[in-house]
Structure formats: structure tokens, C-alpha cells
């Protein structure tokens, strides 16, 4: 990111912060999801890097910030390896076999990232020039992957409107299918992509009934269904079902090992045997053929086999925090408890004078008398998010005690803010 674009995004945020008419317009609008994403979303917070003495840091920016623990590092150190481009890395092969079993799919492929995994899926499903994919307008694949499916795969996308629960209207989906094909005017609808859990919409779990009905529509029109299941293990845990109970409705799935599951790197792409054979070729063309990747797969194997059950903890901590938001006095926060299904909490501020950016800055800063008030300085890191909301994400680096500290900090921040407002009046 250049200095210029940084300045522009900072200005955009300042604009939101200074124009009260704009703020009031944002406040209380129900369909806030439709406003443009906040740019800071994927920038690292500066405050995460500077240390401030003995303050406790509670990092809720993302579930990607986790670091591998001793067991994972040990497994990486002793992993058996080989040249995976020759198919000779035993640890990678074992991870892929286990992943396929866990997903209830024929085969799986270890790839460097979720972004590459989704792109490979698009490339393999949409092989003919003029193929098109249908995707939710607030999906990661559409919003946060630089348009890779157009840029690199040459595949056109059309969108359906994501509803607040991460689903979309199946009537709208049907209307987006190119019924006119093979008339020369139309691309050919080939693929529909869903996201589970839904990231931008706050970790929402797609209902099994939706997936089942979606698959019926897809089958009727010979569309493939790909699930961006970066956090599908969170969905399985939240629903209390096995992953295949979800994934049987999809042809292929992409599962991140480096989100809540805590591996340092990697995603697994699952699907039928012939799909995975083609995926190996696409991965190589994209520069994702890795050699002694068993070092990474060893961490991924632990992520997939040992780390799924603990996601429950993240979900519990997220709910504790959301409940505390709701009970805050003065009632500054707006949060839909029913929407807090997994490890992500999205909330809004009811005071139009306090912007999400300023609130996040106050949560991340350690005030001078804070240690006296709280017993310890606490910096809580989270990001302003889509639709004038704020997003907080629980992960294995955040304990229940950290969550309680974050709640204390929250109360401290709003009390300080209320005092300042009172003085200003």
C-alpha cells in the first residue's frame, strides 16, 4: 500500500468522522450491509506492533493472528517430508487423506491459502471460455480476492444479494441463471459459490435446509456448488453436526487451516477425484506447487484433527462479549444476539458522534490512569467493519480471562467517553 492510498483511506474515514449529516444517515439504517467495505479491514493495526509496558493485549482483529503452539511446532520440526510436486511428501499425503475423510469427499489437496483454493475451484469448475459463476455479493470470493476469478481465470461473475444470515434468495439465484444459453449473447452458468460461515455478515452459519434447497436448484440446472468453507468447522461445531452433514450438499469445499484451527499456513480443497487431479494442475500453474510442504502439513494435520473441538470455546467467548455489549450502561451498542452464532461478533454504536474508528482507537489505546482503574492496562484490538459496524473475532489466543478483560476495558472506554461528552456539554 502506498502512502497515497493510505492517505486516501484515512481521509475517507475522517470524512465519515466529521460530517454529522453523514453520521446520522448511517445511524440506525437497517440495511447497512449495502454500504462499501471499510478499507482498513485487512491492514494491520499499528497499535498491535508497539508495545506498552505490561498492558495485556487482547487481539480480536481476526482468527488469522494465532501463532502455532509447542505441539504444532514440535510436529513441524519432526515431520517426515518429501518432494510434494512428485507426490512424495508423506505428511502432505496423510493430511490430504485425512481431510478427504473428514469432509466425506473422495480427495483433497493442500494449498497455500484460501484465496488460491477458491481460485483453483473456479478454474476447475469453469473450464470453458464464456463460463460464469454466481456468488453472493458480500462473499469473500467476490469482495476480498481481488477479482481473481476474472483477473486470472477469465471467468465472469454475477452476484446474488446476500441476506443477513449469509444465504440468498433461491428465486433470485434462479433468475440469474443464463436460461438463454447457448444463444450467442449469454455466458454459460456453471458454478454457484456459497460461504459458510459467512465472514462479512458476522460468522453466520448457513442452515442445512438452505443448502439442501440450493443443491436441488443447482442439480436442476447442472450447476456445480462450491463452498468457501474457510470456517466450515465453526459451522459444524455450531450446528452440532459432522462436516459431511453440511458438505454433502456441495461438490467441492475449501477449508482454511490457518483461521480458527490455528495452523500457521494452509487450506485444504476437497472434492471428487477428477476435480482434485485438475486442481493439482491449476495449483501448479498458479505457482502453488510446494516441495517439502510436510513441514506445513504437519501443523495442518494437528489443526484438522485436534483443534476443531476447541472452536466451541471461541463461540462461547464471543457470546459472553456480545452479551456484555448488550448490557452496557449507557446502552451504547447495538448487537443482534441471535446473529452471534460462531466466533465473530459484529456490533454498531448507537451514538452517531462516536465513530467505529474512534471507538476502536480508544479500545486499543492504554490511558494513563487505566491501570489504576482496571488493575492493568488493556489494549483490545478490533477493526471497523462493513456497514459502519465493528468486528471482533475470537481465536485460540484469547482466553476467557482475556474476554473478561476486554469487557472491563469496554466499560472503561464508554465511561470515559460519557464523562468527556458530559464535560463538553
Ligand X SMILES: *Cc1c(COP(=O)(O)O)cnc(C)c1O
* Positions that interact with ligand X (CB under 6 A): 113-115, 140, 195, 199, 228, 230, 256, 258, 267
As measured in angstroms, the least distance from the Cβ of 223 to ligand X is: 20
* CA 243 – CA 335 distance, rounded (Å): 29
From the CB of 13, what's the least distance to ligand X, in Å? 23
The smaller minimum CB distance to ligand X, of residues 120 and 366, is found at 120
Q: Smaller CB distance to ligand X: residue 251 or 259?
A: 259
> Which of 286, 328 has the CB closer to ligand X?
286
Residue nearer to ligand X on the CB measure, 187 or 260: 260
CB of 65 to ligand X, least distance (A): 12
- Pick 23 or 142: Cβ nearer ligand X: 142
Number of residue whose CB is nearest ligand X: 114
- Continuous H helices in 257-367: 273-285, 294-306, 311-326, 356-364
Find the shortest distance in angstroms from Cβ 229 to ligand X. 8
Q: Looking at 58-207, list the stretches that DSSP marks H as alpha helix, in order from N- to C-terminal side.
A: 70-78, 90-103, 114-125, 140-143, 148-151, 170-176
Which of 179, 284 has the CB closer to ligand X? 284
Of 344, 333, 334, 340, nearest to 414 (Cα)? Answer: 333
Please identify which residue in the block is written with the cell numbers 505490561.
54
Q: How far is the CB of 199 from ligand X (least distance, A)?
A: 4
Q: How far is the CB of 268 from ligand X (least distance, A)?
A: 11
Cα–Cα distance measured from residue 270 to residue 103, given in angstroms and rounded to the nearest whole number: 7
Taking phi first (over 0 means left), then psi (-120 to 50 degrees means alpha), and beta for anything else, what does residue 187 get?
beta
Is the separation of the CB atoms in 53 and 377 below 8 Å?
yes
Within 8 A by CB and 6+ apart from 49, the residues are none
Where do runs of H (alpha helix) occur along 27-147? 70-78, 90-103, 114-125, 140-143
How far apart, in whole angstroms, are the C-alpha atoms of residue 136 and residue 170?
Answer: 11
Nearer to ligand X, 19 or 150 (CB): 150
**Measured from the CB atom, is 191 or 407 closer to ligand X?**
191
Minimum Å gap between C-beta 391 and ligand X is 12
Query: Measured from the CB of residue 395, what is the shortest distance to ligand X in angstroms?
Result: 12
Question: d(Cα 63, Cα 414) in Å, to the nearest integer?
Answer: 25
Give the residue from 44, 40, 53 showing the smallest Cα distance to 9.
40
112 vs 294 by CB, closer to ligand X: 112
Element (H or E) spanning 238, and its range?
helix 232-239
Minimum Å distance from CB 303 to ligand X? 13
How far apart (Å, rounded) are the C-alpha atoms in residues 339 and 244? 24
Sheet with 156-160: strands ordered across:
107-111, 267-271, 252-256, 224-228, 188-195, 131-136, 156-160
Amino acid at each position: 500500500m502506498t502512502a497515497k492510498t493510505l492517505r486516501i483511506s484515512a481521509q475517507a474515514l475522517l470524512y465519515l468522522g466529521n460530517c454529522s449529516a453523514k453520521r446520522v444517515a448511517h445511524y440506525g439504517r437497517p440495511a447497512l450491509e449495502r454500504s462499501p467495505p471499510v478499507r482498513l479491514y485487512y491492514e494491520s493495526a499499528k497499535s498491535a506492533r508497539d508495545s506498552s509496558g505490561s498492558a495485556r493485549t487482547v487481539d480480536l482483529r481476526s482468527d488469522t493472528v494465532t501463532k502455532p503452539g509447542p505441539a504444532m511446532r514440535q510436529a513441524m520440526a519432526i515431520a517426515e517430508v518429501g518432494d510434494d510436486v512428485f507426490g512424495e511428501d508423506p505428511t502432505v499425503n496423510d493430511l490430504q487423506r485425512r481431510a478427504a475423510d473428514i469432509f466425506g469427499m473422495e480427495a483433497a489437496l493442500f494449498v497455500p491459502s484460501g484465496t488460491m483454493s477458491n481460485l483453483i475451484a473456479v478454474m476447475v469448475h469453469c473450464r470453458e471460455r464464456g463460463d460464469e459463476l454466481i456468488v453472493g455479493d458480500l462473499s469473500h470470493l467476490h469482495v476480498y480476492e481481488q477479482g481473481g476469478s476474472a483477473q486470472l481465470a477469465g471467468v465472469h461473475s454475477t452476484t446474488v444479494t446476500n441476506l443477513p444470515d449469509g444465504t440468498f434468495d433461491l428465486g433470485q439465484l434462479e433468475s440469474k441463471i443464463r436460461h438463454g444459453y447457448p444463444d450467442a449473447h449469454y455466458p454459460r452458468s456453471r458454478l454457484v459459490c456459497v460461504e459458510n460461515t459467512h465472514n462479512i455478515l458476522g460468522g453466520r452459519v448457513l442452515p442445512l435446509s438452505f443448502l439442501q434447497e440450493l443443491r436441488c436448484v443447482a442439480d436442476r440446472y447442472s450447476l456445480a456448488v462450491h463452498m468457501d468453507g474457510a470456517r466450515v468447522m465453526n459451522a459444524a461445531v455450531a450446528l452440532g453436526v459432522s462436516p459431511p452433514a453440511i458438505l454433502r450438499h456441495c461438490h467441492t469445499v475449501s477449508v482454511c487451516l490457518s483461521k480458527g484451527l490455528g495452523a500457521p499456513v494452509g487450506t485444504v480443497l476437497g472434492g471428487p477425484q477428477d476435480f482434485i487431479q485438475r486442481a493439482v494442475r491449476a495449483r501448479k500453474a498458479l505457482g502453488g506447487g510446494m516441495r517439502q510442504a510436510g513441514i506445513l502439513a504437519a501443523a495442518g494435520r494437528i489443526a484438522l484433527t485436534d483443534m476443531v473441538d476447541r472452536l466451541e470455546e471461541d463461540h462461547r467467548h464471543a457470546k459472553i462479549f456480545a452479551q456484555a455489549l448488550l448490557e452496557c450502561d449507557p446502552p451504547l451498542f447495538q448487537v443482534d444476539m441471535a446473529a452471534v452464532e460462531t466466533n465473530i461478533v459484529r456490533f454498531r454504536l448507537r451514538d452517531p458522534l462516536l465513530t467505529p474508528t474512534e471507538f476502536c482507537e480508544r479500545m486499543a489505546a492504554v490511558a494513563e490512569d487505566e491501570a489504576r482503574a482496571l488493575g492493568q492496562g488493556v489494549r483490545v484490538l478490533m477493526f471497523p467493519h462493513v456497514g459502519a459496524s465493528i468486528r471482533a473475532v475470537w481465536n485460540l489466543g484469547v482466553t476467557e480471562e482475556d474476554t473478561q478483560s476486554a469487557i472491563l476495558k469496554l466499560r472503561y472506554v464508554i465511561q470515559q467517553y460519557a464523562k468527556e461528552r458530559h464535560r463538553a456539554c
